[in-house]
Amino acid sequence: MNESKKLTIRMLSAATSVDGQGVGSAYLEQVALVREQADLYDVLINKEERRRKADIYHVHTVNPYAVRQMKKNRCSVIYVHFLPDTLDGSLKMPRLFMGVFKKYVVHYYRKAKEVVVVNPVFIEPLVKLGIKRENITYIPNFVDHDAFHVLPKEEIDAAKDKFGIPKDKFVITGCGQVQTRKGVLDFIECAKRNPDLCFIWAGGFSFGRITDGYAELKQVMDNPPANVKFLGIVPRDQMNLVFNCADMLFMPSFAELFPMSILEAVNSHKPVLLRDLDIYPIILFDDYAKAADIDGFDAEIKRLANDPKYYAEYAKKAEHISTFYSKEYVAKQWREYYPRIYKKFLESQEK
């Protein structure tokens, strides 16, 4: 491979077709980052200049058009944001259809020449699915600090007026799609136990009625406790306002992958409270408050709301997460990644 050759990367994604998905946020951030490396890469999106051959076909989401582009004579890489089993609790489908879809996802992952995972926890399950370990690379998500950062008080007050958030209350914010897996019912129960605090949820039914738990959750959204406000799906360019309005982020999800919402929220330098899941220590270190159930969440919320020293400790920890997942750190990895896999592909073609 000629080291001076600019590589053309065709990004294939339907991530932005559904609002309120973390995958969409990660996709937009990654594409913008690669485009900034203009000395190395030209970037095409989906069918843009469709007759132009790309050097690398980077598939971001499961969709038939993207799969058709992963041909044997092409260098293709797939971005793995979820494993088949993590679909449980997100979408409500007939068991047979869900089983077929999971098999399709596995086939899709195996079809690519290379795989990028956003969480190192995914590596072993993918190897068990038949993907070669040497073809898997871990590159984390990141958040651009120009888009997500601490705002001055006057802007926060204006944002609270905009969203109808009281200025004299301790504000606990959750975000993400309203679905069973996100622990929305536990969020509501904690709100009931703390009527003097304000609970805000940013997110809605991105997949409509096929969302797991739709009927029960819809009833809760339509009739929330007095101290709970559902903002619905908030455009991403306004989420920095939402995070700055919060005094803490509370995400009681039962299962997560690499939640972009957490990486975005920590840039406001507010404490984060999460369910005690196995994946978090690997990606978030020990920089978050945690609990295993509603009683534990309730205790942590009360302590963060009433103990200034404890609050300051976890605000500092959130700032550390923000620093680690910086744009500069991840940019270096993408500058190395594409040339390396393209060179590997050319050598395999020669053989």
Whole-angstrom distance, CA of residue 196 vs CA of residue 118: 38
Q: Are 7 and 52 in contact (CB under 8 A)?
A: no
How open is the CA angle 87-242-119, to the nearest 5 degrees? 35
Q: Tell me the C-alpha distance between 214 and 92, whole Å.
A: 9
pTM (global) more than 0.85: no
- Note down pLDDT in tens along the chain; length 351 residues: 555 589 999 999 886 655 445 577 788 889 999 999 999 999 999 999 988 999 999 999 878 888 788 888 899 999 998 887 765 555 555 666 667 877 888 888 888 899 999 888 899 999 999 999 999 999 998 888 899 999 999 999 999 999 999 999 999 999 988 888 899 999 999 999 999 999 999 998 866 676 667 888 888 898 999 999 999 999 989 999 999 999 999 999 998 877 889 999 999 999 999 999 998 998 899 999 999 999 999 999 999 999 999 999 999 999 999 988 888 889 999 999 999 999 999 999 987
Instruction: End-to-end CA distance of the chain: give it in Å, rounded.
Output: 14
The rounded distance, in Å, linking the Cα atoms of 140 and 129 is 21
The pLDDT, as a whole number, for residue 16 is 61
Q: Can you list the domains of the chain with their CATH numbers?
A: 7-142+326-346 (3.40.50.2000), 153-324 (3.40.50.2000)
Query: Which uninterrupted H or E stretch holds 8?
Result: strand 7-12
Per DSSP, what are the bridge partners of residue 289?
A: 273
Q: What is the DSSP string of 206-219?
A: TTGGGBTTHHHHHH
The span from the CA of 112 to the CA of 164, in Å, is 47
